[in-house]
Chains A and B, each alone.
Chain A
């Protein structure tokens, strides 16, 4: 890269925060101390009223926007939305993005050294939940001396953290923005996660999770886990257009099945014949080189366990009864991982609880992944909503 694009958050240096206070986890276990790695974009105003928290999804981390160096080929995972003049505008807001506990991006997790044993936590790292993450995020908030977030924003598993914030710490956020979320996983969602976990744990290189001590990693298993996950992030139509010849105007879109071959002919063997196969292999392998398998297991469990209604007799609207923020929910038409109906469940329970809620169902071809992409109507809505939030919390307050 020769230069940084003008709408980029720029070159970002992550910071590490250390926490000495023990964290009591939902599981009953205690994490005596931990680190969180954090990136921030934009400037915190004097009143500290313009801060936004970004919550990441399954495979995300603190690097949401900008670049770490000029050598970086790719920007942060949510660069489509975060930057100067973008939907989450660094000219208006101070944006905080962290790697969650149990992650492998630099916060304390399975790849960290357990101070009690001097060895990697590995599989002994406690299972953390969305609630635990939010508790650790409040501790970070206190370290940053922020009293109230202007918004807490996240997609997918990130959206679940947003919901948990509104339930656990109603006074600490002005608005909650939950994109492509769900109130809890369905059996189908859990089933896909279990396939992913079995792929990892049945890899001979897994060694019950102690692979780091043996200088190896269950890369094949993690590749498979990512492949199956990746399929659930895409829509049928997105895959057809990605892996099929461009449809001419005169051809019907339904004529494209996305069956382009890798080389010109069938191999009559069991290797990859179609482009979709080699694409999935490539994506899975790249992922397995950069992500920790124990973290993947833990993140999928955090997804499976998320159900904020459980403390309220399975009544989600009751869970929201103390919430004191406004809500924005956005879903995408072709998302079959967390389809629009799942967001509508949340909307309906918020209505039942008499909360201020705005909901948009965006027509988009890209499936669950749409929340990471510059889908125009989505970006415009997010941008308009946050501009108004800025007026409410910054301009009107001064």
Chain B
């Protein structure tokens, strides 16, 4: 399993009801169903991913996150997940609001643009960073709203969102003492557990 998902699953209660926004091939929901008896639904627009979900028996709805999520009721899920999708949305801030309307808690993961590798790339080459982790050219990238750990912290403060937990990991998805002290500099993937205040 993708290691950010490994961390996420620790935050999900057994028997809970989970909505996975941009659920990809359904691997996390499938795992949660098997290991924690979680019920859940994924939203996805990629036909190949949707088919993978169906093959696993994961319930999936073809729905674009950039369009409304008004078809989901307030408080209808225990946890709403958004893994590695935030940066590809038209209005990430609106979606965070929606997540915490629909779910009692939210989990968000995103690539941290404040990581030293990105900073060094921009500082030395003067060009938008391209890495194994962020492989697209600036003009063709689906990732239109990159942010840093500090940016996201600021957004949570401005929206009065409670950060229950925050962790950052590197590309091998391991934490280290450096990441613990300087998450915005050393973390490559940021993982947030959120709730309404």
Binding site for B on A (CB under 8 A): 326, 344, 347-348, 351-352, 354, 356-361, 377, 380-381, 384-385, 387-388, 391-392
A354 and B55 within 8 A (CB)? no
Assess A357 versus B41: contact at CB under 8 Å? Given A381-B54, A388-B54.
yes
Question: With A344-B71, A347-B71, A351-B72 known to touch, is A360 a contact of B62 (CB < 8 Å)?
Answer: yes
Which residues of B are found within 8 Å of A388, using beta-carbon distances? Answer: 54-57
Asked if B59 and A356 sit within 8 Å, CB to CB, the answer is yes
7 contacts between A and B (CB under 8 A): A357-B41, A357-B59, A358-B61, A377-B47, A381-B51, A381-B54, A387-B55
Residue in A352, A377, A380, A387 whose CB lies within 8 Å of B73? A352
Cα A357 to Cα B60 with chains together (Å): 7
The 4 nearest A-B residue pairs measured at CB = A348-B71, A388-B57, A384-B54, A359-B61
Pairwise interchain contact A359-B62, C-beta atoms closer than 8 A: yes
> Which residues on the A side are within 8 Å of B55 (C-beta)?
384, 387-388
The residue of chain B having its C-beta at the shortest distance from the C-beta of A391 within the complex is B57
Residues of A contacting B39 with CB < 8 Å? 356
When C-beta atoms are compared, the residue in chain B nearest to A331 turns out to be B62
Q: Report B60-99 residues with CB < 8 Å from chain A CB.
A: 60-63, 71-73, 76
- B107 within 8 A of partner (CB): no
A327's closest neighbor in chain B, by CB? Answer: B59
Q: How far is the CA of A354 from the CA of B50 in the complex (A)?
A: 20
Residues of A within 8 A of B60 (CB): 358-359
In this complex, the member of B47, B55, B62, B63 whose beta carbon has the largest number of chain A beta carbons within 10 angstroms is B62
A392 neighbours in B (Cβ, 8 Å): 57
Classify chain B: how many residues form its interface, as a range: 20 to 34
Q: Which residues of B approach A to under 8 Å, CB–CB? A: 17, 39, 41, 47, 50-51, 53-57, 59-63, 71-73, 76
Q: A344-B71, A347-B71, A354-B76 are in contact. Are A326 and B59 (CB under 8 A)?
A: yes
Out of A326, A361, A380, which one reaches B62, CB within 8 Å?
A361
- Report Cα–Cα, A347/B56, bound state, in Å: 20
Q: How far is the CA of A377 from the CA of B62 in the complex (A)?
A: 13
Residue of A nearest to B56 (CB): A388
Residues of B within 8 A of A344 (CB): 71
- Between B41, B54, B71, B76, the greatest number of chain A beta carbons within 10 A of the residue's beta carbon is seen for B54
The interface residues of chain A lying within 8 Å CB-to-CB of B76 are 351, 354
Which chain B positions have C-beta within 8 A of A347? Answer: 61, 71
Q: Hey, which chain B residues are within 8 Å of A354, CB to CB?
A: 17, 76
Q: Are A385 and B54 in contact (CB under 8 A)?
A: yes
Kindly state the separation between the CA atoms of A254 and B39 in the bound complex, as whole angstroms: 46
Q: Which residues of B contact A377 (CB under 8 A)?
A: 47, 51
A360 touches B57 (CB 8 A): no
Whole-angstrom CA separation of A351 from B63 in the bound complex: 13
B118 to chain A, nearest CB (A): 36
Residues of A within 8 A of B72 (CB): 351
